[in-house]
Amino acid sequence: MTPFDAVLCDLDGVLRHFDHAVQADIEARYGLPLRKTAFDPDLIGPATLGHITEAQWVESIAVALGGDERARQAAAEFAAVPFWVDEEVRGLLARAQGRVPVVLVTNAMDTLEEHLERLGLAYFADAVVSSARVGVAKPDRRIYELAAELAGVAPERCLFVDDRLENVAGATALGMTGVHYRSIVDLTPALTGLFDQSGDDGGSPGGSSRDPG
């Protein structure tokens, strides 16, 4: 018997990463507290719940920073920071997906689908649960329940991976096995039991058959 029947995985901070050096450079050039302002729960919360668009979130950052043209330019640059896929994580999840469903569970905005397309992840996961689409965000228990339902398994048979400890705690409160992700060394041993139980040969971690990228 496998140790779990589905993998529920966060996107940002695990599979996708933003260039924090570029973010810091933008802050320094403009002399504005962009990161603190952008991630203020009062500003980002409505965007991740689908109440406002990403464009409206960017405008709210600019307004909070003074509302002038300089603040708008800084906010626009901050929102356009480059991002990329961690190919090691992608490879591990692709191997897992050959055995159990993999569902992305992310506090995202209305642009998520466009971003997944740009990353070559549009067809990677078996399902994607976006907070902006379902109207609830981690660590609300309802988003975990919905993800487990889409995976077709009971919550206690799910492995949940996230870089934020409070989100992992929300999952484990429902009986899920939680992994607090800080680097690939946190994920690898969590999936080893799945590969061992299923006879995985540890071959090349290519994308799944559903992934055209």
For residue range 14-44, list pLDDT tens digits in order: 999 999 999 999 999 999 999 999 999 999 9
Mean pLDDT across the chain, nearest whole number? 92
What average pLDDT does the segment 54-81 reach? Answer: 98
Q: What is the pLDDT of residue 204?
A: 38
Q: What is the pLDDT of residue 212?
A: 30
Asked if residue 5 has pLDDT above 90, the reply is yes
Position 199 confidence tier, pLDDT thresholds 50, 70, 90: low
**Encoded tokens for 12:** 């940002």
d(CA 202, CA 123): 23
Per-residue buried b or exposed e for 67-86, using 16+ beta carbons within 10 Å of the residue's own CB: eeeebbebbebbbeeeeebb
**Encoded tokens for 4:** 């779990």
Bond from prior residue into 205 cis (ω within 30 degrees of 0): no
Kindly give the pairing relationship between strand 102-106 and strand 127-130: parallel
**128-168: pLDDT as tens digits:** 999 999 999 999 999 999 999 999 999 999 999 999 999 99
**Encoded tokens for 135:** 């109207």
| pLDDT more than 70, % of the chain | 92
Asked if residue 2 has pLDDT above 90, the reply is no
Query: Cβ atoms within 10 A of the Cβ of 201, count?
Result: 8
Q: What is the pLDDT of residue 136?
A: 98
- Give the rounded distance of the alpha carbon of 68 from its chain centre: 32
Q: Which of 49, 46, 47 is nearest to 138 (CA)?
A: 49
Q: What is the pLDDT of residue 20?
A: 93
Asked if residue 188 has pLDDT above 70, the reply is yes
Q: What is the pLDDT of residue 200?
A: 52
What average pLDDT does the segment 104-116 reach? Answer: 98
What average pLDDT does the segment 164-183 reach? Answer: 98
Which amino acid appears at position 180 of this protein?
Answer: H
- Lowest-confidence range among 17-26, 104-113, 204-213? 204-213
Asked if residue 198 has pLDDT above 90, the reply is no
Q: Which of 58, 59, 65 is nearest to 79 (CA)?
A: 58
